[in-house]
Structure 1
Amino acid sequence: MVRDAGVRADAGVLESRLTGLGREEFAREVWGRLPSLTRGAGDFSDIFSSAAVDELVSRRGLRTPFLRVAKDGATLPEPSFTAPGGVGATIADQLDDTALWRAFADGATLVLQALHRTWEPVGTFTSRLATELGHPVQANAYVTPPQNQGFDAHYDVHDVFVLQITGTKRWLIHEPVVTAPTREQPWTGHRAAVAEAASGAPVLDTVLEPGDVLYLPRGWLHSAVAQGAVSVHLTLGVHPWTRHALAAQLAETALAALREDPAMRTSLPLGVDGPEGELDEIRARLVTALTTADPAPLFARTRRGQGRPAPLGPLAQLAALDALTDDTHVRLREALEPRLSGERLWTRAGWLDLAPADLPAVHRLLDGEAHATRDLGPALVRRLLRAGVLVPAAP
């Protein structure tokens, strides 16, 4: 599927920056089904650039595994591109920009990993996209010299959006050999099938130019070769929740309940050679536990653990506490994944038990909007600022 981007003024980043499709249309026509190419989606220089690559490699003191180096389908050993940090930085595995330059000049691809943690514009963008999609998103950048290829044909176990930043890259896309693979089904377990499928005619053979976006569902085979200039592309990896994952959490919740059943904790009879004779009762109890299990708390806890809240500056937070007045406006820190369960507020910054009198104010805060301290209560605001749950906001 190939399209030119079209943008509504009130569109989210999925529509305004990536696909030209709203979330519902994208979910109905594309999500998890087919590759989708959007020509001229936009200018991504505000998110990432060649200058950002140079700064990250040469000036930020990055360590492994924030960078991999690949050549001829294999990753190079970390000692070949890392070195001690020097006086005052007793760190043995910081990136060595000289070694990286030599490897790059020799045809190696630089892979900047977890950019959502090291480059603020990418972090902000991935956080917004994750909120829209309801699935965690991470980001890597691939920097490939002209006429070179970092990796052979393979598939990912997560969906990806490929944003071409600079240069051009030819992509060959083939149909999956494993449909919708999970983390436990990586391409390395199907090397022969992947190689055979990649030798056939591709479903899509295209050259991405700056501003183009390619969406690939997990499992679709792909390989890419830089063309006549250095290619920089950003890959946004979407790690989808699956029905299998939800089933696993349902089973885990049910098994936790069965641990509280004394009959299920009793030993099997002496001399038993197999499960026969016990399975009927165990199945019946397991079915009952599955029927009544509520995986929502475990789901929420796991989801919170898959991301981090928005950055929090300790000095700015202390200044906000010191300057707090009734007119100060505050809001929930972004990407907290808040969940109020009874009188306990769960967030990625930890949990807090609340007084019943504070619950109406906390319910108001959950709308994500800015609120005046006088409307919430100074004591509650101070507590939530100290906990890193609230941050100052413009009125």
Structure 2
Amino acid sequence: MNPSPHAGAERGSGNRPALSRCIRVGAAEFAADYWGKGPLLSTADTLEHDFSDLFSSEAVDELVSERGLRTPFMRMAVEGSVLSKDRFTSAGGFGAEISDQVSSEKVLAEFAGGATIVLQGLHRTWSPIIDFTTRLVADIGHPVQVNAYITPASSRGFDPHYDVHDVFVLQIAGEKRWRIHAPVHPDPLSDQPWSQHKAAVAAEAQNTPVIDEVLRPGDALYLPRGWIHSAEALGDTSVHLTIGMSAFTRADLVRRVLDRTRDDASLRSSLPLGLDLADPDALAGVLAETLADLVAAIQNDPPGVEAVGASLARRFTEVTRPEPVRPLATVAGLATLDGTSVVRWRLGLAGDLRLNGEKVLLTVGGRSLALPASCEPALAHLLSGASTSLSALPGLDVDDAVVVCRRLIRESVLVLER
């Protein structure tokens, strides 16, 4: 068996709880009608939960004043222009001799003067968002990052622009007016930023918006990559989260297919000696011959679904971070591990399970673990993502389950829940 990098009972059953917090429609309808296609506004009265458990104005003050943040985990901007880091950082002082630690005094001065605070990488620095992001990655199957934007009253942080990743905007505090315009460059790739189409973006921003709404606490907005947007805080300070989702694309699949053709002898051959690359007529024949050889190479050795999937799964593993583990609590729990202990597969950790004679090979995070073949039913059950007591693991008695799970917990494959 070869489960996805985000295997789990919730996703497998169609229930995507983290995603569902951000949308007023069902997950299936969102996938079919909105994902990568068009914006979706979800007001607080249409959502089951607000976002106060994820972030707050108090959290902003704590991060800025007490957590010792450094750049690039924070930046500041005024009317679209990013401030140099010396405007809001200073040396850390005795015991923290670093030059770019966030200075709460400098931040106060700039913020009071109208600068927007941008807290970057909250999926690495703020516990509730770390947990939420891990679950959202499992729900959507694409890498995720989270920033917070804290904008003073009646201030605009950035000019109209588009992002090269899909986003959810979650309004935390205050009110912000959002103007959304149609793309001028649909589905931009990561190396196709809005600055490459600056004039077209500015022109489109003068047209009637597709959406012109004020987001209030508990509201959420989904924007596919490429959709132009700008926002302005109204009244009091606005705090919102921007959840960036860097979607894998069909171009990524094509790239994996092309990578396989590197071993084809005809495609490894040199271009003709003295070829004038500026001469369209000379290049046309070479290009036509090369494309024909490329098609032939793909037809002669068609890429298998498993090979392409494994390649993209490796990339997914490289750019995402599995659920954090707690070393002290885990070691303490291992000391009392027994049949009543409850474990589950670590969220966001890719797993591959294969029988090999009298052994079952479990590949996780680039490592391979060999266990007795009798463990296969228990491992398959754990890979489903369900929380399970050791005594309930199929195919193992309690003593064997303790031995197997102790190893997998120490290897950071399983999480001990209780």
What TM-score, normalized to structure 1? Answer: 0.88
1:178 equivalent in structure 2? 185
User: 1:265-344 maps to which residues of 2 (within 5 A)?
Assistant: 268=270, 271=273, 273=275, 276=286, 279=290, 282-283=293-294, 285-288=296-299, 291-293=302-304, 294-341=307-354, 343-344=360-361
Match of 1:85 among 79, 92, 96: 92
Match of 1:346 among 363, 380, 383: 363
Q: Contact 2:267/2:293 (CA < 8 Å) preserved in 1?
A: no
User: 1:14-163 maps to which residues of 2 (within 5 A)?
Assistant: 14-15=19-20, 17-40=21-44, 41=47, 42-163=49-170
Q: Contact 2:142/2:245 (CA < 8 Å) preserved in 1?
A: yes
Q: How far, CA to CA, are the matches of 1:25 and 1:95 in structure 2?
A: 43
Cα deviation for residue 88 of structure 1 reads: 1.1
For these two proteins, the number of residue pairs brought into alignment is 378
Could you say what secondary structure the match of 2:231 adopts? strand
Give % identity.
45
Could you say what secondary structure the match of 1:223 adopts? strand
Q: Is the alpha carbon distance of 1:172 and 1:281 closer, same or farther for their aligned partners in structure 2, counting shifts above 3 Å?
A: closer
Q: Is the alpha carbon distance of 1:252 and 1:106 closer, same or farther for their aligned partners in structure 2, counting shifts above 3 Å?
A: same
Cα deviation for residue 201 of structure 1 reads: 1.9
Q: Which stretch of the first structure deviates more once superposed, 266-275 or 245-254?
A: 266-275
| Alignment deviations for residues 332-389 of structure 1 (CA, whole Å, 9 cap, x no partner) | 22221323355543334x4223134233332221122223164553332222122111
Q: How far, CA to CA, are the matches of 2:250 and 2:35 in structure 1?
A: 15
1:241 equivalent in structure 2? 248
Gaps of 5+ in 1: 1-9
Q: Is the alpha carbon distance of 1:210 and 1:377 closer, same or farther for their aligned partners in structure 2, counting shifts above 3 Å?
A: closer
| Alignment deviations for residues 128-154 of structure 1 (CA, whole Å, 9 cap, x no partner) | 222222222211110000010110000
Q: How far, CA to CA, are the matches of 1:269 and 1:145 in structure 2?
A: 58
Higher relative contact order (CA 8 A, sep 6+): 2
Q: Is the alpha carbon distance of 1:267 and 1:91 closer, same or farther for their aligned partners in structure 2, counting shifts above 3 Å?
A: same
Q: How far, CA to CA, are the matches of 2:353 and 2:269 in structure 1?
A: 40
Q: Is the alpha carbon distance of 1:83 and 1:352 closer, same or farther for their aligned partners in structure 2, counting shifts above 3 Å?
A: same
Q: Is the alpha carbon distance of 1:383 and 1:196 closer, same or farther for their aligned partners in structure 2, counting shifts above 3 Å?
A: same
| Alignment deviations for residues 182-219 of structure 1 (CA, whole Å, 9 cap, x no partner) | 10111011111111111222122111111111111111
Q: How far, CA to CA, are the matches of 2:257 and 2:268 in structure 1?
A: 23
User: 1:197-236 maps to which residues of 2 (within 5 A)?
Assistant: 197-236=204-243
What TM-score, normalized to structure 2? Answer: 0.84
Q: Contact 2:362/2:369 (CA < 8 Å) preserved in 1?
A: yes
